[in-house]
Amino acid sequence: MENGQVYRATTEAHSGPGIGPRSGLAAYFTLSRLTGFRRLKLLELVLSLLAFICEEVVSQCTLCGGLYFFEFVSCSAFLLSLLILVVYCTPVYDRVDPAKVKSSDFFITLGTGLVFFVASLTFTLTHDNTIAEIAAIVFGMLASLTYLAEFSFMLREKLKEPRPRKGEATMRREHLTEPLNA
């Protein structure tokens, strides 16, 4: 027998979802939902990570409260940004209500931006003037401004959406209480 007949059935590549340039986890990750201002999420993720890394480099402090608060907020901002990106860029988005994702994103972005700004100001008032601290403050301020800019874009988009009139809202509620087989 030739080698081709003996080994052919077990050594041929089968074209499936696990083979090709986008295999494994990369096959489930897409940036297609990050359109327009939502691309700021990537910048928020990077800036909050850089702020956290620069803050972690600080070896000593005299007034450490601002440093610890900034550390907590920058790490939390990074993790929340990562969570929202995972939801937007994976099939998880298809399994949840898009309106709830947008609403959660709206309030998370606002809260993170405001708290990050306060933490950056607090750290600015209590830092020891080292290069790592100044870099962390700059990245923190840039991150907080990016969060707040994205929130303003989201708010503008939300205000442009048509709102249901009073009569339409009550008709919708009445429709929800009707039995399905009526």
Q: Does residue 24 belong to any structural domain of this protein?
A: no
Sign of the Cα pseudo-torsion (87, 92, 96, 97, in order): positive
In a domain, 179, yes or no: no
Domain annotation covers residue 59: yes
Confidence band, pLDDT 50/70/90 cuts, at residue 38: confident
Q: What is the pLDDT of residue 90?
A: 86
Query: Is position 167 within any domain?
Result: no
Is pLDDT above 70 for 175?
no
112 in a structural domain: yes
The verdict on residue 103 lying in a domain is yes
In the chain, the amino acid numbered 151 is F
pLDDT at 4: 56
Q: Which pLDDT belongs to residue 31?
A: 76
Q: Give the pLDDT score at 19.
A: 55
**Number of domains making up the chain:** 1
Q: Give the per-residue pLDDT at 177.
A: 65
The length of the chain, given as a count of residues: 182
In this structure, is residue 72 part of a structural domain? yes
pTM value > 0.95: no
Instruction: Work out the percent of the chain whose per-residue pLDDT is above 90.
Output: 52
Judged by average pLDDT, the poorest of 100-109, 141-150, 158-167 is: 158-167
Residue-number span of the structural domain to which 147 is assigned: 36-160
**172 touches 164 (CB < 8 A):** yes
Does a structural domain hold residue 174? Answer: no
